[in-house]
Amino acid sequence: MPSRSSSPTEFSQFVSRAVVPPFLLERIAQHGSPSSGQGVAVDHASSSAARTLAIDRELVRGRIDAPRPTASAGRAATSGPRRSIHDAENDRVLPGRLIRAEGQPSSGDVSVDEAYEGLGTTFEFFRDVYGRNSLDDGGLPLDATVHYDRDYDNAFWDGERMVFGDGDGEVFGRFTASLSVIAHELAHGFTQYASGLEYSGQSGALNESLSDVFGVLVEQFALGQNADDASWLVGQGLFLPAVEGRALRSMIAPGTAYDDDVLGRDPQPADMDGYVETRSDNGGVHINSGIPNRAFASAAIELGGHAWDRAGQVWFDVATDSSLSPTIDFDGFAAATVAAAAARFGIESDVRRAVSFGWSTVGVAVDDQEPTDSTSRRV
C-alpha cells in the first residue's frame, strides 16, 4: 500500500495543541447542543463552540512554532514536581492569578485541585516509569491555568503551560475532570522537548498519537490497570449525559468514541484503508492519529500486563531518540518502534513480535528499512 503523507510546507506552521479537534467544534457550532428533553437551550452549546473556534484560530494566528527547545543545563535537579496553578477568572490573560503553588494545601476549587493532582501524577509517571525529570528531563516547572475564558470548550498546551476551559455545561464539562486530557496536553510538551515532531500530515498525527498514548498510560498508571482492563479512551467523562458518546477518542477502536445527532459519528479511521486525505486540521492530525493509536493499543494488549512496561517503553525509546526525523511518517515510525523493541528486548522477543503485530493490524507494513522522512515520500 503506498504511503499517504503530506509535506509540512503545504500546511500552516501556526498550530495549536488543543485536545478537542476543530471539526468537532464546527459540528456543534453548526447544529446546536444535544436536547436533554428538559428545556436545554440549544443555542448555548452552539455559541460556545463557535466562540471556542474563534479563540483557537486567534491563538493559532498569534504564534508560530519556535525552534525545538532544549533542557536547561543549569536548572536544578528535583525529586518532585514544581507546580503552579493559576485562575484566569474567565478572562484570557495568562497566566492569571496564582491560586496554588507546590506543596500548598487543597484550594477548594475543584478545577485548581484537579489540575494540581493531574500535573503531579503525570510528573510521577515519567519519573517513576522512565526516569525522566519532568517534560524536558531537566526539571521543567509545570504550570497550568484554569477557568480560561467563559464556557471555553477546550484545553491546550501553549508551549509553556497547560490551559483549561470549563466547558459549556451542555456538551462538555470542565476539562480538568479527565486525567487523560491533562496528561495528553502535557505530553505535547514532552514531544516538544524530546522529538519536536512537526504538527502536520503524518508526523502531526504521530504527534497527536504520542499524546494519546502517554495520556492513557498516565491514567492506567494512576488506576493500576493492565492493558486488558483499560478502556483505552481519551477524554472519558468530558461529555455530559445528553451526549451519545463515551469519550473524544477510542485508541483500541477508532471511530467508535461517539455517535450523536449533533456531534455526528467519530471520524477516526481504524486502519490505512480509511486514511483521510485533507488539508484541514493540519492535514488531519486529529483524525489519522487513530491509526497509530490502534497500533499501540493492539501491541500492548497482545503483550498483556501493564502497557507502560514494554509497549510504552518502546514508544518512549523512539520518542526520545535524537535521530528521529521531525517529519517522520507512519512507515518510518513503525520501523523505528520495531527496531527499538529488538534493541531493548531482543530480536526474537515477544515484544518485537507484538509491536509488528500492532502495525500489521492497521495495515502498516514493517520491514527492515531505516525510518523515512515524510518529506521524501510521494503523496
Helix %, strand %, coil % for the chain, to 5? 40, 10, 50
Query: Angle at the Cα of 190 (from 278 to 219), degrees rounded to 5?
Result: 90
Query: Angle at the Cα of 335 (from 206 to 347), degrees rounded to 5?
Result: 135
Q: List, as one string, the DSSP characters of 148-210.
A: -TTT---EEE-SS-EEE----SSSB--GGG-HHHHHHHHHHHHHHHHT---SSHHHHHHHHHH
**What values do phi and psi take at 347, rounded to 5?**
-65, -25
Active site residue 184: no
Question: Whole-angstrom Cα distance, residue 253 to residue 260?
Answer: 17
Q: How far out from the chain centre does Cα 328 lie? A: 18
Active site residue 286: yes
Q: Choose, from 114, 170, 185, 208, the residue flagged as catalytic.
A: 185
DSSP code, position 312: H
Q: Choose, from 147, 188, 286, 306, the residue flagged as catalytic.
A: 286
What pairing do the DSSP bridges indicate for beta strands 17-18 and 97-101? unpaired
CB within 8 Å of 114: residues ≥ 6 apart: 174, 176, 177, 182
Place of cell 510504552: 312
CB within 8 Å of 67: residues ≥ 6 apart: none
**Dihedral angle sign, alpha carbons of residues 365, 367, 372, 377:** negative
What does the block give as the cell for 156? 491546550
Question: Whole-angstrom Cα distance, residue 127 to residue 137?
Answer: 9
Residues labelled catalytic: 185, 286
